[in-house]
Amino acid sequence: MTTVTVDDLRSLFARIAEAMTREKDRLCELDGVIGDADHGIAMELGFVAAAKAVSELDATADLTLVFNTAAKSFLNAVGASSGPLYATALMRAGASAKGKVSLNDDDMVEVFAAFAKGIQDRGKAEVGEKTMVDAWAPAATACRQAREQGQPLAGCLAAALEAGQKGAEATKDMIAAKGRSSRLGDRALGHMDPGAASAVVVISCFKDHFPSE
């Protein structure tokens, strides 16, 4: 059984920030095709700011404060649509962790699902509308299903990643109904949604951070 502490969350944020720095150019290129080419910059700025802010919290910080601090920093750092979407995700994750000193496998699966639901509630996008929800929603469903089938956290996150990757891949065949790329109509066909691509990066970080014991 995994036990997730404040320190684990801090290093998870550092891991996501590093991954976004690595992936920034690819994400900007994807956004350049169907958007305004800033998605990689937005995700890097957001997660670098979040990682820095949580690293500066004092030792008495609890799990909810870590997520809420990350949310606030992400929102302040990012002017693009991904700002409020990820800030809401992080706030919901914080609410899900409320009152807990550490998170076990069940808690962490619920935090992951709350994170994904935050994005969906904030942006009001449904699956099939060519957004990050096409990666996050199936990832959260797969994560929960794996847990219900008795998988440990690592197995749940592996299932989440697989479903998220499939969902991101499927955005290539979609016409956007939400966000900037919805103005393109069928010219967006054939191109992966950048937000779905970055969601896969975030989900990969969750998976790599909690390997099987």
Using CA atoms, how far residue 2 sits from 106, 145, 189, in Å, is 10, 18, 41
165, 213 contact by CB (below 8 A)? no
Which H helix or E strand runs over 171? none
* Contacts of ligand ADP in 110-129 (CB under 6 A): 119, 123-125
Q: Pick the binder of ligand ADP from 68, 82, 88, 96 (CB under 6 A).
A: 82
Show the binding pattern over residues 6-35: x = contacts Mg ion (CB under 5 A), - = does not.
Answer: -------------------------x---x
Does position 192 interact with ligand ADP (CB under 6 A)? The reply is no
Does position 66 interact with ligand ADP (CB under 6 A)? The reply is no
Using left for φ > 0, alpha for ψ between -120 and 50, and beta otherwise, residue 102 falls in: beta
Cβ-proximal residues to 58 (8 Å cutoff; 6+ apart), any chain: none
Does position 105 interact with Mg ion (CB under 5 A)? The reply is no
Please give the Cα distance from 209 to 8 (Å, whole number): 8
Q: How far is the CB of 133 from Mg ion (least distance, A)?
A: 16
Which residues form the interface with ligand ADP (CB under 6 A)? 31, 35-36, 38-39, 42, 80-82, 85, 119, 123-125, 131-133, 178-180, 193-196
